[in-house]
């Protein structure tokens, strides 16, 4: 199975994603520069974290126009699995593959810490190996991760079961204290209606080895590997 890790100017988690998929999980992985339009036969696309274009104007307001994103959108519309992590989540929102927006953290501070998220849906390629209600310990590192959407959009996301990850306490309970950035409905990650595109603010690729403080992120990447293997898509 082959992962395409998209690189933008300012990406800084591209090597984390490459290491997790290639060296930890033993899959093929290849960097794809943002000016390219060939995904090189990838089975899965990863939009990594970082600060694309320095987050000028607005996070990923520029990255959405990179040539590679046209090809990523085609891949996604054809049903290909796409995951956007942190800055990659912001790209997916800007390009319209996912609904909502990400605002400054409600504490107006950059957050870099381990948090807990609860798996809400297991019928996406990236959560098929998880159990509904499973709590994952994952790191976050962002200044603009406060998920926002209109009341109508939030209602639709909930009704369509598109909220994939929700911030929670270690025991899975929700509270204001367990919501690190003030996200509406404690949303940490969502998917599209087709369920093949997932975006989340926490970093599963940085939690694939216990030496890093948690290996809980493995389930996200292992899920898509198992899903594609089971369907014969890779």
How far is residue 57's CA from residue 26's CA, in Å, rounded to a whole number? Answer: 38
Strand 163-168, strand 187-191: pairing: antiparallel
Q: What angle do CA 9, 13, 16 make, to 5 degrees?
A: 140
Q: Tell me which residue of 36, 42, 52 sits closest to 75, measured CA to CA.
A: 42
Q: Which of 13, 86, 191, 208 is catalytic?
A: 86
Asked about 15 being catalytic, the answer comes back as: no
- Pick the catalytic residue from 13, 205, 208, 222: 205
Separation of alpha carbons 163 and 195, rounded Å: 10
* Integer Cα distance of 39 and 32 in angstroms: 7
* Of 168, 203, 208, 222, catalytic: 203
Residue 205 designated active-site: yes
Told to judge if 152 belongs to the known catalytic residues of this protein, a careful annotator would answer: no
Catalytic residues: 86, 203, 205
């Amino acid at each position: 199975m082959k992962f395409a890790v998209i690189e933008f100017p300012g990406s800084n988690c591209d090597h984390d994603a490459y290491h997790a998929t290639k060296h930890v999980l033993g899959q093929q992985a290849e960097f794809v520069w943002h000016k390219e339009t060939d995904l090189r036969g990838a089975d899965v696309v990863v939009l990594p974290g970082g600060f694309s274009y320095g987050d000028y104007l607005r996070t990923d307001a520029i990255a959405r126009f990179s040539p590679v994103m046209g090809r990523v959108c085609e891949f996604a519309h054809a049903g290909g699995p796409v995951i956007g992590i942190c800055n990659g989540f912001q790209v997916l929102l800007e390009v319209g593959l996912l609904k909502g927006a990400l605002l400054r953290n409600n504490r107006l501070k950059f957050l870099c810490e381990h948090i807990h998220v609860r798996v809400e849906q297991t019928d996406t390629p990236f959560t098929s190996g998880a159990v509904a209600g499973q709590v994952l310990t994952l790191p976050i590192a962002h200044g603009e991760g406060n998920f926002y959407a209109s009341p109508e959009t939030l209602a639709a996301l909930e009704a369509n079961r598109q909220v994939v990850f929700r911030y929670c306490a270690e025991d899975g309970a929700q509270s204001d204290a367990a919501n690190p950035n003030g996200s509406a409905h404690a949303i940490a990650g969502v998917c599209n209606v087709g369920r093949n595109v997932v975006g989340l603010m926490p970093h599963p690729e940085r939690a694939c080895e216990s030496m890093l403080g948690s290996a809980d992120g493995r389930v996200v990447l292992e899920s898509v590997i198992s899903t594609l293997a089971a369907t014969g898509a890779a």
